[in-house]
Structures are given as C-alpha cells and as structure tokens.
Amino acid sequence: MKEMQVSLGDRSYPIFIGEDLLGAKELWARIRRREQVMVVSNKTVAPLYLEQVMTALPGCTVKSVVIEDGEKYKTLDAFNAVITRLLEQGFSRDCLLVALGGGVIGDITGFAAACYQRGVDYIQIPTTLLAQVDSSVGGKTAVNHALGKNMIGAFYQPSAVLADTRTLATLPEREFRAGLAEVIKYGMIRDPAFFAWLEENLDGLLARDQNRLAHAIEQSCRNKAEIVSLDETEQNVRAILNFGHTFGHAIETATGYTRLLHGEAVAIGMLMAADLSRRHGWLMRESTERLERILERAGLPSGVPTGLRAEQLRSIMAIDKKARSARLFLVLLREIGVAFLTEQYEERLLAETLSEFSAAGG
C-alpha cells in the first residue's frame, strides 16, 4: 500500500493507494474516527463492493443509501435524498459519509458532507480510474443544475481517500481508457519524466497491472495535489488542470454529453490544445506527435465527432469564457511538461485548429 499526503494546512488528508483496501479492517480502524457511518453508492457499484465496506466497520452504526447511476442523477434531488436519509437515521454532526463510486457519487457525497449540519467528515473511495486520479484530489464537490453543470457546490476536503486498484478490474474497458486521458494530462502539463514513464509502461497499464496502476495513480495524485496546494480555490495556477478541457467541454456540449465520455473529449481537447500551441511555434511538432501516439495507443479518439462545425465549437467556447474575463483564456503548452494559461493567442490560428479537427472526424 502506498500512502501520500495532500498538504492543505489543517485540511490536509492522506490518500491510500493499493489492492483490496476498501474492506481492510485495520486501515478503517485507523481512519474512520466516527461511530455513525453512511455509505453512499450507486446501483452499479453497490452490488460489487458495498457489503465489503459495510462489514469492514465493526462496532459502528453503518447505513447506506444507493442512488441511480449516471451523470443525469447528479442533482439537488439526489443530494437531498442523502440529507433525508441522514436525518431519518438521526445522524449527528459527528457522523462520517463514505462515497463509494465514481465521480458522480464523489461529487454528490462530498457536497452532502459539506452541507449536512454545516459540515461533517467524509471519506472518498473512488472506484473508477478517472475518479481516482481526478476527483480524489482537490475538494471540488457539486451537483448539476438544469442550466449548467457543477453550478451548485463547495470546496470541501475529505478526511481520507482510498484508491483501491482492485476496483479497476470491474471497470469497463472504454471507461478505463477514458481515465487514462487524465493520467496522460498530468505528464503533459507538468511532469515530463512521468510522461516518459507512461510511454514505457502503457501496455502494462492497459493490462491493468496492479503495481503499474498504483504508480500511475500515485504520480497523478501527487501532481494534482501539488497544484491544489498552491491554489485551493482555483484563483490562478490551478487553471492548468483544465488543459484540454475548454476544447473538450465544447465537444461535450455540442454532442449533448451523449457520444463521448469525458476523458475521450479531453483526449481530443488535449490534441487540439497541442496543435494550437504548435501553430504558434510554442510547441515542437515532435512533441505533438508524442502526444498523438500515446493517446492512439490508449485507444482514445483523435478527431471531433462528425457533424460538428468549427464555428459551432468556437461559439460554445465563447460562452464558457464568461466565467472570467472578456477574452477566452486557454491552457497551452511550451513543451511536454510545461503548460501555461494565456489569452495571447491568435484567433486565426484557433480557427485553423478548430477547422482541422472538425474536418478530421472522430
């Protein structure tokens, strides 16, 4: 078992990475700290792992709430269902919530923990690769609103994260590969040595070798933790984590979040960001080719789905920009491992990138 610390002052917490952690009684005895425990899971994950977690907590009052699986259930209603269950069971401010599932479960549970009686403890057990390398660090919790994703939420840190690599064995292949896109992102934006390691070890990862998975998760979490420690509430440097995401979100929005998984859209978005960086002369062609090659080996898509036009993507990106200032900021690359946030790009070159990828098809 690997153990690393996310350093955020008095909100610091450990991440445990390894095999068969979610039912490990000794580990739970060390981290649980509370008597009343509510496990939140979904209908896909609960049949696989809920029993193991609930029986790993002898001497505690352990209850569970199982919600529907899927992003469309990441709502204020699902959040309220968790709160109602806590109240019906008479849970106090000294209780513990456990999120057992992917990013949706983590987001709903974390937000419920942030708000129940103005804040209670929670532990994350992310069961997808994407959640293990992304949602488990950073403390971003939220639910969606009909008018926007993640519009209702809080920055709220868990008291611990258990990334159990064994749960990845049951993850569908396509979801696993989509998670790899975010792993590769960490190499691209700030860790060239990790990127080289991924190039070396990609086949082992695709075979879901437990040790290589643990290493990839650890390096991803370490990179994200270092960024988040510098900027907990996303005022500045944390923005580089959005590498590939502005393009990716535009693709997801244009396709109504139905045709691509998040990681797949991010993979295409990273290629587009790299392409735009190259067109400005900031990134060498050799580097964009390395990115293309590893994403292709990971079985990730390389072009925008057919039927989307460049102008359509550009106008969706323009709406995204409202968040911060008059001009759209983008995360671009100077080399593999060096990302930066900028509004100093040429609109003409952005149009070229959008056209090239729209024409390519996915």
Buried b (16+ CB within 10 A) or exposed e, 296-331: eebebbbbbbeebebebbbebbeebeeeeeeebbbb
Least separation in angstroms between residue 81's CB and a copy of itself is 12
Complex with a copy of itself: residue 96 or 198, whichever CB lies closer: 96
Question: Least Å distance between CB 92 and a copy of itself?
Answer: 5
Q: Nearer to a copy of itself by C-beta: 140 or 279?
A: 140
The answer to whether 30 is a known catalytic residue is: no
User: Where along the sequence are the contacts to a copy of itself (CB under 8 A)?
Assistant: 76, 80, 83-84, 87-88, 90, 92-94, 114-119, 140-142, 145, 147-148, 150-155, 233, 322-324
262 is catalytic: yes
CA of residue 231 relative to chain centroid, distance: 17
Which residue in 190, 262, 278, 279 is the catalytic one?
262
Place of tokens 């610091």: 12
Do the beta carbons of residue 298 and residue 177 sit within 8 Å?
yes
Distance of alpha carbon 105 from alpha carbon 127, whole angstroms: 10
Nearer to a copy of itself, 8 or 152 (CB): 152
Tokens 């984590």 found at: 241
The least distance separating a copy of itself from the CB of residue 153, rounded to whole angstroms, comes to 5
Does 234 participate in catalysis according to the annotation?
A: yes
Q: Which of 134, 191, 183, 139 is nearest to 163 (CA)?
A: 134
Q: Is the dihedral of CA 21, 25, 27, 33 positive or negative?
A: positive
* Catalytic pick among 242, 252, 278, 290: 242
Active-site entry in 34, 74, 140, 279: 140
Is 226 a known active-site residue? no
Are 31 and 179 within 8 A, CB to CB?
no
Any catalytic annotation for residue 145? no
The least distance separating a copy of itself from the CB of residue 114, rounded to whole angstroms, comes to: 7
> Measured from the CB atom, is 7 or 55 closer to a copy of itself?
7
Is 140 one of the catalytic residues?
Answer: yes
238 is catalytic: yes
Q: How far apart are CA 8 and CA 190, in angstroms?
A: 20
Give catalytic status of residue 85 as yes or no.
no
Query: Quick one: 207 or 323, whose CB is closer to a copy of itself?
Result: 323
8 burial level (CB within 10 Å; 0-12, 13-18, 19+): middle
Question: Of the listed 74, 245, 278, 279, which one is catalytic?
Answer: 245
Q: Rounded CA gap, 16 and 117, in Å?
A: 28
- Minimum Å gap between C-beta 125 and a copy of itself is 22
Active site residue 150: no
Q: Please identify which of the residues 118, 236, 322, 348 carries the catalytic annotation.
A: 118
Q: Are strands 121-126 and 160-164 parallel, antiparallel or unpaired?
A: parallel
Instruction: Catalogue the active-site residues.
Output: 118, 140, 182, 224, 234, 238, 242, 245, 249, 262
